[in-house]
Amino acid sequence: MRITVLSGGVGGANFLKGLLAAVGPEDEVTVIGNTADDIWLFGLRVCPDLDTVMYTLGGGIDPERKWGRTDETWNAKEELTAYGVDKTWFGLGDRDLATHLIRTQMWHDGVGLAAITERLCDRWQPGVRLLPMTEDQVETHIGIDGADGIDTIHFQEYWIRLGARVPVREVTFTGAGEATAGPGVVEAILSADRVILPPSNPIVSIGAILSVAPVATALRTTSAPVVGVSPIIGGAAVRGMADQLLTGLGIEISAAGVARHHGARTSGGVLDGWLVDGADAGELSAIETAGIAAKAVPLYMTDDATTAQLARDTLALADSLAAGR
């Protein structure tokens, strides 16, 4: 079976661990990773979500932070701070720097991001084919209150420097209008037997990937069933700043609210099915009224066993939708 997953960072990477445990050796998993979080720092090209997926599946992620390298040290960051340079709020660890140095060197040599990512994955052997959503530079920008109206800042500055503590007024994906899908991305969606949207942020992860028009079009037209997993449980985000983003954009913070935001494929949206937690079982009828098949299952990925079961439940819903066609 060919399974294609659209993934952001931590939530998507954790789900992918469970998916790899749930599928067989004959199954092929392709991951389309968000690159709108990418940023230039100290002359280096940093791709946080691609690296989080690669490190998590390759056994190199810090198990407590869920980002960056395990056994990390911070000497370079401390030296940069001592020099008084800007952007030291972004934590580049010493071991992590090697990844960014190799990526940036290849970038300046004219190598595309897809080939760079493949080269980096040669070391980590993540067990999936990891594809950047685009090789064009697309950036997520957040609008916040400024002295004379709305100030626009890079997503990383909002999330890390400001700690997502200020209200969101708008979200834009700079460069998305002109961006093309990365090599192999459209084909991975159109040729898939199953497509999954894991519990990644619906705005700055899944939304960022879908801001690239050819990717969104492929998702709407693929013959594969598209099933998503709610990142909202009991009216709150499981992790990250989805609450702040949804509030700022006027989207209801609920499993049903995010499902309606994505929309049913029968009505021009991107979903055929949607999993919610048992705590949100009361929202199933509202989701189904929106034209999306829905089921309540345990969504908390508390350990390897529950994460693998969530992946199996996701595939089971996709299987039932495929059988009903």
pLDDT for the residue numbered 87 = 85
pLDDT at 252 over 80: yes
pLDDT for the residue numbered 104 = 98
Domain regions of the chain by residue span: 2-135+177-323
pLDDT at 325 over 80: no
Report d(CA 204, CA 99) in Å as an integer.
23
CB atoms < 10 A from the CB of 325, how many?
7
| Contact indicator for 51, 23 with CB cutoff of 8 Å | no
Q: At 117, is the pLDDT very low, low, confident or very high (cuts 50, 70, 90)?
A: very high
Could you list the beta-strand ranges (E) of the chain. Answer: 2-7, 28-33, 39-41, 44-46, 129-132, 139-146, 149-154, 170-174, 194-197, 226-229, 232-233, 236-237, 273-276, 293-296
pLDDT in tens, 119-161: 999 999 999 999 999 999 999 999 999 888 899 999 999 999 9
pLDDT at 247 over 80: yes
Give the burial class of 78: count Cβ atoms within 10 A of its Cβ; 0-12 exposed, 13-18 middle, 19 or more buried: exposed
pLDDT at 106 over 80: yes
Average pLDDT over residues 45-60: 97
Q: At 229, is the pLDDT very low, low, confident or very high (cuts 50, 70, 90)?
A: very high
Q: Among 63-67, 168-172, 279-283, name the one with the lowest average pLDDT.
A: 63-67
pLDDT for the residue numbered 86 = 85
pLDDT in tens, 82-98: 999 888 899 899 999 99
3-state secondary structure of 52: helix
pLDDT at 205 over 90: yes
pLDDT in tens, 159-195: 999 999 999 999 999 999 999 999 999 999 999 999 9
Average pLDDT over residues 27-37: 98
What value does the mean pLDDT of the chain take? Answer: 96
pLDDT for the residue numbered 147 = 86
What is the fold of 2-135+177-323? Answer: Rossmann fold (3.40.50)
- Quick one: what percent of the chain has pLDDT higher than 90? 92
Average pLDDT over residues 293-317: 97
